[in-house]
A and B are shown apart, each in its own frame.
Chain A
Amino acid sequence: MIAAIRAELVKLLRRRVLVISAVTTAVFAVASAAIVLISAEPAGPPSAGRGVTVTSLSGAGGGTEVFTTAVSFAGVFVFVVFVGVVAVEFSRGTFRTMLMHQPRRLRLLAGKVTALLAFAAVVLAVAEALTWTAARLLAPTQDVATGHWTSAAALGQAVTDYGSVLFWVGGYALLGTTLAVLVRSVPVALAIGIAWAGPFEHLLQDAWDPAGRFFPGLLLEAFVAGGTSEVSATRALVTIAAYATLAAAVGATAFARRDVTA
């Protein structure tokens, strides 16, 4: 698996990828910090879910709350990235190339996903730091106090928020990878992925409130938001873990057993 991780990193750690990732992360950080601060309610107690207020932002976790709030809207993007990155290896025939050099299929797939997650982990860490910095610079314009943002409690909250977001990304990564392995076609996988993670689950939720307790995309959103009125963060975590286990088993079985003909 180490070889598969290193091979994937050869593709990821190229100047072009790094520059694009850095620019995208910087733009995301600044834009999301501005949007979250501007859209923060003037006052009021913290509420479950995504209710961001000036009061909540002025707390110890305010700096990284900006980050988690902004990231939670990018779930479809993360999902689509993983669907695309994995499915394109089938469409392009590069899984065939890789399997001729690494026939241990599960190691190959696990190595690829691990490398992508490791890369995502670094990007998220940078994004969190940049978002925090941008938010701190912009906070005075929205009367958000930042005195507590540099406390020990704030550091602890930053680590917790980072872990939550990483878990959230991991969940989408696993679901996206499984979908790509099952469908093996970029356009079809993307169409299904975008439709499912985008409008489908939310429409279901609008029509049926308890949907938020059962559907993976909604659960991931609920988890990263620290829980909702429908489902607590803990319950979301446990349910997502069950989904992730199932997705990993299905994806691994399909990848290990199916013929690679493309």
Chain B
Amino acid sequence: MNTAQTPQETLTGRAPALVTERLTKRYGSRAAVNGLTLEVPAGVVAGFIGPNGAGKTTTMAMLLGLVTPTAGTATVLGSSLDDPASYLGRVGALIETPAFWPGLTGIENLRVVATLAGHHHGRIPEVLDLVRLGGRGADRFGEYSLGMKQRLGIAAALLGDPELLVLDEPTNGLDPAGINEMRQFILELADGERTLLVSSHILSELEHVADWLIVINDGSLLYQGPAEGFLGRVPTVVALAPEHPRDLDRLAALVRADGLDPRREDTQLTVPVADDDAKAAAAALNRSAGAHGIVLAELYVRRPSLESQYLAAIGGEQ
């Protein structure tokens, strides 16, 4: 396990929204979640990352009382996992695909859920407006597009104005416009008070919204901590490709002479640099190459992405 920073270090006295201690779920001999120990600070947008089958949905299902852990403990909003009724009223969740009654309208579906949870029905128009379904609430759920179904699922999750919102792959099946809308929506919901736990396999989406990351693979934790901590584990590089590949060795020698450490990648060099100095370093390398008669066909700064970090982490694990 690689923990960059404990939540307590990042917070100002608020108890973590989620704590799991060696949480485990086994199906026969296979461990879907294997001794997962993590903490999610209150008020963050936590991205929950892992490949398909890594155990994200199973972990969320355990936190929501749908699946019983084989071993381990957890607390959600300070209450034990053993008593979901003590905390689920303060938790909103959309897990797997949004499941509602197709013959009922959006409003009727929310009325069922609100009645069941004891939420005030007056919240229904409010949450429908919030997810931009205000004009379609009287339509049947079965007639909704996938994006509308996802939004109704989030509306249901928001009925109780939850302290913790758990969203499992909320961009699944959405078109690019829908994905962008969902991203904006998550940012709107993240008000610093509410905690969001969002799983996704579209890493670029989480990169824009998550300030805390949990990375798991094969049911085990690879990383948890601030997003920038995860992103900072691989350096920013300047990539340079000479016009003629035969100049690569000469270019590498020039870079080394400048005190940098170039690496060869096919027909280009990559040079690790400090992120805040990347443009200046690129300009200096360009000048140096030009001064020695080497024409650069490509020169760009490549900053670490969540995807590259994730692939590096998964690759390292495997």
Contacts and interface: CB of A to CB of B under 8 A. Distances in A.
Contact of A14 (B61, B99, B104, B116): B104
Contacts of B111: 10
Interface string A5-18: 01100110010100
B116 A102 contact: yes
B108 A101 contact: no
**A4, A16, A101, most chain B CB atoms within 10 A:** A101
Given A3-B118, A10-B111, A103 B104 contact: no
Contact of A96 (B91, B95, B104, B116): B95
Interface in B95-136: 95-104, 108, 111-113, 115-118
A100 B88 contact: yes
Contacts of B260: none
A100 B84 CA distance: 9
A201 B91 CA distance: 47
Nearest to B65: A103
Interface residues of A, number: 25
Which of the listed residues A6, A93, A100, A104 has the most CB atoms from chain B within 10 Å of its own CB?
A100
Given A93-B96, A100-B93, A10 B115 contact: yes
Interface string B230-266: 0000000000000000000000000000000000000
A259 B100 contact: no
A28 B113 CA distance: 33
A92 B104 contact: no
B64 A7 contact: no
A99 interface: yes
A94 B100 contact: yes
Contacts of B1: none
Contact of A11 (B85, B97, B98, B104): B104
Contact of B115 (A6, A14, A94, A259): A6
Given A102-B116, A102-B117, A11 B101 contact: yes
B112 A10 contact: yes
Chain B interface size, as a band, is 20 to 34
Contact of B67 (A94, A98, A259): A259
Given A3-B115, A10-B108, A10-B112, A99 B65 contact: yes
A26 B84 CA distance: 45
A97 interface: yes
Contacts of B84: 103
Contacts of B95: 96, 100
A261 interface: yes
Given A3-B115, A101-B88, A261-B61, A16 B103 contact: yes
B156 interface: yes
B99 A101 contact: no
B66 interface: yes
A35 interface: no
B61 A7 contact: no
B73 interface: no
Contact of B66 (A3, A7, A100, A257): A100
Given A10-B108, A14-B108, A99-B66, A259 B118 contact: no
A103 B67 CA distance: 11
Nearest to B58: A261
B68 interface: yes
Nearest to A102: B116
A122 B61 CA distance: 38
Contacts of B104: 11, 14
Choose among B99, B101, B102, B103 the residue with the greatest number of A CB atoms under 10 Å from its CB.
B99
B92 to A, nearest CB: 8
11 contacts: A3-B115, A3-B116, A14-B108, A92-B102, A93-B96, A96-B99, A98-B113, A101-B113, A101-B117, A103-B65, A259-B67
Interface of B: 61, 64-68, 84-85, 88, 91, 93, 95-104, 108, 111-113, 115-118, 156
Q: Which 8 A-B pairs have the closest CB atoms?
A: A93-B99, A101-B117, A103-B84, A7-B116, A7-B115, A259-B67, A260-B66, A101-B116
Interface of A: 3-4, 6-7, 10-11, 14, 16, 92-94, 96-104, 108, 257, 259-261
